[in-house]
Amino acid sequence: MKEMELKYGCNPNQKPARVYMNEGELPFEVLNGRPGYINLLDAFNSWQLVRELREATGLPAAASFKHVSPAGAAVAVPLTETLEKMYFVEGVHLSPICTAYIRARGADRMSSYGDFVALSDECDEQTASFLAREVSDGIIAPSYTDRALEILKGKRKGTYCVLKMNPDYIPAETETKQVFGITFEQGRNNIKLDNSLFDNMVTDNKCIPDDAKRDLLIAMITLKYTQSNSVCYAYGGQAIGIGAGQQSRIHCTRLAGNKADVWFLRSHPKVLALPFLPELRRPDRDNTIDVYISDDYNDVLAEGMWQQYFTCRPQPLTREEKRAWLNQVSGVSLGSDAFFPFGDNIERAHRSGVSYIVQAGGSVRDDNVIEVCNRYNIAMAMCGIRLFHH
């Protein structure tokens, strides 16, 4: 098939809409549902991300996409007991690809609501079963087991979008797009991200352990498919905070850092022990945890709304308790899709436990950025690679 008609474009008034190939066949099959314009943008960006993560790390990879940027990305690093509790999978033996998916979805569950999922490896029955319980628009993977496909076809009253991607497809070296009737052309961003990112260590601390190198690769490959400006915090084999599409680098760093802080606070003993009502659905639990961690929780208590979520009234997580918990965090990796212009980005990153950084370098204030890293004993590499994506 060389072309496919779509219901509409980005918005219902944008008709007609289609995807097509100038040469050859479309490199994907629709196994179920009817993908939309934005679905396919998410699908192809997320597929590239997980394919590159798989190649760079050797581990199965998954991504959760919303509005052409990742909400989460991860590889198949086994979950700790604490993460099993955070992700509501206690005592479950997970397959590698399911582990990657659980991690990717767990990075920022609020943003992943209604996402498009990408898997680097075959979708198995276990992954499909977990995905069946989530609010999601679709999935792209190289293949599906028969049982997995059966499960996914039953999702969303039979309309769930299931795409099978040809893993051997290689796009042309030149890509084009139109804006306002004007055609743009450029070479595809096919740069390979690997351990050469760490060749130029510019700080006093030049030690980046292997697990941090893996996390920095995850961060940088994630940023390659994130709307710029963008910054990504990664830890333990997954992204934990992504700041996308901000006009200011410091706002990227703050946004992603705040998301990383929330991710760590989800492991606080008070959060793990929240007495949820048994019938409370998972999305409602996620929303409730977000409110509980935020400064709005006291307002919820004051309004007597806790009975809607809990079997008994939990004590608030105070600002002092939150800061004390986050002060214990270290070993976080941080990637940036372009240079940090000022040291304030490093100050903010340090507050979220960042110990390792990769960024392009090339700012007139590189000396200030390096100075702040040295103050906190942060190891930083300047890779000389900009990863803008628009």
* pLDDT tens per residue across span 81-100: 999 999 999 999 999 999 99
Q: What is the pLDDT of residue 385?
A: 96
> Which among 104, 138, 170 is the end of a domain?
170
Bigger pLDDT: 176 vs 298: 176
On whether both 134 and 65 belong to a single domain, the answer is yes
In a domain, 387, yes or no: no
Q: What is the pLDDT of residue 294?
A: 85
Q: What percent of the chain has pLDDT over 90?
A: 89
Q: What is the pLDDT of residue 301?
A: 63
Two structure tokens written together for 62: 């998954």
pLDDT tens per residue, range 320-340: 999 999 999 999 999 999 999
On whether both 227 and 363 belong to a single domain, the answer is yes
- Average pLDDT (164-168) is 97
Domain assignment of residue 375, given as a range: 175-265+326-382
On whether both 259 and 378 belong to a single domain, the answer is yes
Mean pLDDT over each residue of the chain, to the nearest integer = 95
Q: What is the pLDDT of residue 129?
A: 96
Known catalytic residues are: 66-67, 229, 390
Bigger pLDDT: 291 vs 266: 266
Q: What is the pLDDT of residue 302?
A: 57
Cis geometry, peptide bond prior to residue 78 (ω within 30 degrees of 0): no
Q: What is the pLDDT of residue 303?
A: 67
pLDDT tens per residue, range 112-161: 999 999 999 999 999 999 999 999 999 999 999 999 999 999 999 999 99
On whether both 153 and 51 belong to a single domain, the answer is yes
On whether both 18 and 123 belong to a single domain, the answer is yes
Structurally, the chain folds into a number of domains equal to 3
On whether both 223 and 191 belong to a single domain, the answer is yes
**What angle, 0 to 180 degrees and rounded to 10, lies between the N-to-C axes of helices 366-375 and 344-351?**
30
CA distances from 301 to 184, 267, 292, 311, 347 (A): 54, 22, 10, 14, 34
Distance between CA atoms of 220 and 175, rounded to whole angstroms? Answer: 22
Q: What is the CATH number of the domain that holds 34?
A: 3.40.140.20
CB environment 170-199: b (16+ within 10 A), e (fewer): eeeeeeeeeeeeeeeeeeeeeeebeeebbe
On whether both 348 and 283 belong to a single domain, the answer is no
On whether both 212 and 306 belong to a single domain, the answer is no
> Which among 170, 191, 226 is the end of a domain?
170
> Which among 121, 136, 170 is the end of a domain?
170
- Average pLDDT (36-59) is 97
pLDDT tens per residue, range 355-370: 999 999 999 999 999 9
137: Cβ contacts below 8 Å, ≥ 6 apart: 39, 42, 114, 115, 116, 160, 161
Q: What is the pLDDT of residue 283?
A: 85
- Average pLDDT (258-267) is 96
Cis geometry, peptide bond prior to residue 11 (ω within 30 degrees of 0): no
On whether both 247 and 304 belong to a single domain, the answer is no
Q: What is the pLDDT of residue 192?
A: 95
In a domain, 390, yes or no: no
